[in-house]
Amino acid sequence: MAVHVEATPNPNALKFTSDKLIFEGTNSISVMPGDTSEHEIMNELMQLDGVDNVFGYQNFITINKQFDAEWDNVSPKVTEVMDKHGY
């Protein structure tokens, strides 16, 4: 299993796509600072240093980093959390 990382038009956002379904159904999930989710993976991602907010839908999660964070520090931590959850 692998997580594929893609750039987005927003330089502060990266899309992390899994070969497996992460979220069932047709609803998207957004977690903003101060919020929590029923999905533990989203809560864990929000706890990472440098993560501002997260958005998930079916087999991907988009991470928006804080303005002063560096992707070289944030991206491996995101991949580690996704791997921990079996994605």
Q: What is the pLDDT of residues 75-84, one digit of tens each?
A: 999 999 999 9
Closest residue by Cα to residue 83 from 14, 8, 20:
20
- Ordered structural domains, the chain, with CATH: 3-84 (3.30.1370.70)
Predicted local distance difference test score (pLDDT) of residue 1: 59
Say yes or no to pLDDT of 4 above 90: yes
Predicted local distance difference test score (pLDDT) of residue 86: 95
Coil, strand or helix at 55: strand
Q: What is the pLDDT of residues 32-81, one digit of tens each?
A: 999 999 999 999 999 999 999 999 999 999 999 999 999 999 999 999 99
Rg value, the chain, Cα: 12
pTM of the model: 0.95
